[in-house]
Amino acid sequence: MFNTLVNAAMTPEPSSAIHPRAGTDTVARILKAAGTLFAESGFDAVSMNTIAERAGVSKANIFHHFDSKDALYVAVLRQACENSTERLQRLGSDTGPFPQRLAAFAQHLLADMLDHAEVSRLILRELLLGGAQRGREFAEKVFGDNFARLVEILRAGQARGELRADIDPAMIAALLIGANVFFFEAQEVLRHFRDVTFAQDPARYSRMLADVLLDGILAPNDPAQRLSE
Amino acid sequence: MFNTLVNAAMTPEPSSAIHPRAGTDTVARILKAAGTLFAESGFDAVSMNTIAERAGVSKANIFHHFDSKDALYVAVLRQACENSTERLQRLGSDTGPFPQRLAAFAQHLLADMLDHAEVSRLILRELLLGGAQRGREFAEKVFGDNFARLVEILRAGQARGELRADIDPAMIAALLIGANVFFFEAQEVLRHFRDVTFAQDPARYSRMLADVLLDGILAPNDPAQRLSE
DNA sequence: AATACAACTGACCGACCGGTCAGTCAGTAC
DNA sequence: GTACTGACTGACCGGTCGGTCAGTTGTATT
């Protein structure tokens, strides 16, 4: 019964025809309130009372719809991951030369994270903070899809000879995603570093990121200098 | 009085000569236990009872040495940041050609983070998680020093013409530090991605990172291809 | 020996936590 | 009408939280 309710709430079908009470959106309201609060402050720092107050329902009503605080958290996370997975599939361009594909992926990924900051923060929190196996699997799936997709783009670039063959695509994927995640996480901190001029301009950051990744940072005149191991 | 005690505990001088009781290391034991637990589970998830138990003292004794749980957390964070700042100053090589300097910085930074994972996790948690102004200033100082130091290395490279002049040094710094932070944070997750072969080998990750950053990932125009490690 | 004081403890406090429960209410089926 | 159901609530539960306090112990000073 619990799962039925939650899954019904996940798919945004107008179930008002099925359920009698007008308050069927209650589950959605709870999920929204819980999502916002969890993303803001994390699991432990948010009480069921606060969620109930924010959602405009009684605490007991939340327990009527969700078995426990953990179950609510998992439902919130599952919904967030489903949304992300959905958006993920129409991310970046699948055609065009490799540099454009890579730049588009990087730019769209960062823009998507910033546009859905709350959801992203929730997933990252679950993914990166140690312990807590509560919903790591969901987060890993979203992240893994993202990662695999980027690796594929890179492998295609290698196959077509546009990309150096002597590099590890997974490493580049980690680098690119890591740079984006880091920008997302540290934006508030970077903002008031004197050297940083791009904190308010993610599109510019993405452009510079793709540029550096593609061409490197060494001066082009002397390609002879190379890191010796 | 509170500050005096904490600051005395910060500098690891053998104050056994000054203080009477043999248990003067109590403060250190409390800080160590609290640091470990906070790094493992975060602020909210750790109770004073647990800290007291782990440190082998009574809970009331912790409140004798620290005004509040927040004050204890700040003290832990301050100590962690001081240690990091200290280590930071002997990080990387100050001489040699630019590629070596950059590679050394990246490699040492990551190695240091992994060697002091507990402290690093604590600082990153404070820095990157939203809200919580508890001790952000400490974390920002450590991070800012790190950042400024790397920017300086990059500016020097630009001044000597070894590095492209049309790039933003701060952006490169963010990219490099971000890539390291991300590796540190996501190591456990990356470990069981099929494409990833470097999760257990941070030194190799650092080498690849420096390589890619310096030369880019595009296939070179003239096929003066290098051998891959 | 008496004083003074920091280190330290066990018992305790009010507040709040996640969670339960008896019961109300609106709508549906017959 | 009556029986039934699920959404919903206020009051309440045991337990844990951060924090307090009276009192004990050990040591240095006088």
B26 with B98, same domain: the answer is no
Question: Does residue B21 fall inside a structural domain?
Answer: yes
Asked whether the predicted pLDDT for residue A13 surpasses 70, the reply is no
Q: Which domain holds residue A100?
A: 91-215
Region A211-216 average pLDDT: 90
Say which CATH number the domain at B111 has: 1.10.357.10
Q: Does A44 touch chain B (CB under 8 A)?
A: yes
A179 with A131, same domain: the answer is yes
Asked whether the predicted pLDDT for residue B197 surpasses 70, the reply is yes
A60 with A125, same domain: the answer is no
Mean pLDDT, chain A, whole residue set = 82
The pLDDT tens digits for B54-89 are 999 999 999 999 999 999 999 999 998 888 888 887
Asked whether the predicted pLDDT for residue B17 surpasses 50, the reply is no
Rounded to whole angstroms, how far apart are CA atoms B123 and A142? 26
Q: Which residues does chain A have within 8 Å of residue B100's beta carbon, measured at their own beta carbons?
A: 227
* The pLDDT value given to residue A220: 73
A189 with A133, same domain: the answer is yes
Rounded to whole angstroms, how far apart are CA atoms A120 and A146? 13
Going along chain B, which residue ranges are E strands? none
Domain count, chain A: 2
Question: Does residue B25 fall inside a structural domain?
Answer: yes
Two structure tokens written together for A71: 């179950």
Question: Does residue B228 fall inside a structural domain?
Answer: no
The helix (run of H) or strand (run of E) holding residue B100 is helix B98-115
Rounded to the nearest angstrom, the gap between the alpha carbon of residue A134 and the centroid of all alpha carbons in its chain is 17
Say which CATH number the domain at A32 has: 1.10.10.60
Two structure tokens written together for A54: 């924010």
Q: Lowest mean pLDDT: which of A35-39, A177-181, A216-220?
A: A216-220
* The pLDDT value given to residue B211: 92
B37 with B9, same domain: the answer is yes
Rounded to whole angstroms, how far apart are CA atoms A54 and B40? 30
Rounded to whole angstroms, how far apart are CA atoms A11 and A3? 13
Q: How many CB atoms lie within 10 A of CB A12?
A: 9
Largest Cα separation within chain B, whole Å, is 74
> Which bases of chain D are contacted by protein, using any atom under 7 A from a CB?
6-11, 16-22, 26-28
Amino acid at the residue A226: R
B201 with B148, same domain: the answer is yes
Give one DSSP letter per residue of A185-205, joined into a string.
Answer: HHHHHHHT-TT---TT-HHHH
Q: Which residues does chain B have within 8 Å of residue A140's beta carbon, measured at their own beta carbons?
A: 189
A42 with A99, same domain: the answer is no
Largest Cα separation within chain A, whole Å, is 75
> pLDDT above 90 covers what percent of chain B?
50
Asked whether the predicted pLDDT for residue B202 surpasses 60, the reply is yes
When computed from its CA atoms, the radius of gyration of chain B, rounded to whole angstroms, is 21
Q: Do residues A180 and A109 lie in contact, with contact meaning Cβ atoms separated by under 8 Å?
A: yes
B180 pLDDT tier (thresholds 50, 70, 90): very high
Rounded to whole angstroms, how far apart are CA atoms A161 and B49? 61
Cα–Cα distances (Å) from A193 to A187, B139, B141, in that order, read 10, 13, 10
Cα–Cα distances (Å) from A121 to A77, A214, B103, B114, in that order, read 11, 28, 31, 24
Asked whether the predicted pLDDT for residue B44 surpasses 70, the reply is yes
Question: Does residue A128 fall inside a structural domain?
Answer: yes
Nearest to A226 among B147, B195, B226 (CB): B226
Search chain B and give the residue with CA nearest A137: B189
Rounded to the nearest angstrom, the gap between the alpha carbon of residue A224 and the centroid of all alpha carbons in its chain is 40
* The pLDDT value given to residue A24: 65
* The pLDDT value given to residue A90: 74
B192 with B98, same domain: the answer is yes
Calculate the angstrom distance between C1' of C19 and CA of B44.
Answer: 20
Region B27-48 average pLDDT: 93
B118 with B208, same domain: the answer is yes
Question: Does residue A228 fall inside a structural domain?
Answer: no
Cα–Cα distances (Å) from B16 to B13, B21, B22, B83, in that order, read 9, 8, 7, 22
Contacts of A194 (CB under 8 A, 6+ apart): none
Calculate the angstrom distance between C1' of C25 and CA of A63.
Answer: 19
A106 with A207, same domain: the answer is yes
Rounded to whole angstroms, how far apart are CA atoms B120 and B124? 6
The DSSP symbol for A12 reads -
Question: Does residue A224 fall inside a structural domain?
Answer: no
Q: Which has the closest alpha carbon to B182: A127, A1, A143, A174?
A: A174
Residues 48-87 of B with CB under 8 A from A: none
Q: Do residues A169 and A155 lie in contact, with contact meaning Cβ atoms separated by under 8 Å?
A: yes
B139 with B58, same domain: the answer is no
Question: Does residue A73 fall inside a structural domain?
Answer: no
A57 with A140, same domain: the answer is no
Mean pLDDT, chain B, whole residue set = 82
A21 pLDDT tier (thresholds 50, 70, 90): very low
Q: What are phi and psi of A8, to 5 degrees?
A: -65, -35
Question: Does residue B229 fall inside a structural domain?
Answer: no
Q: Which residues does chain B have within 8 Å of residue A150's beta carbon, measured at their own beta carbons?
A: none
Rounded to whole angstroms, how far apart are CA atoms B34 and B46? 8
Give the nucleotide with minimal C1' distance to the Cα of B24.
C7
Search chain B and give the residue with CA nearest A180: B178
Two structure tokens written together for B191: 């470990």
Cα–Cα distances (Å) from B225 to A162, A167, A210, B49, B206, in that order, read 13, 12, 22, 61, 21
Q: Does A151 touch chain B (CB under 8 A)?
A: yes
Q: Do residues B91 and B108 lie in contact, with contact meaning Cβ atoms separated by under 8 Å?
A: yes
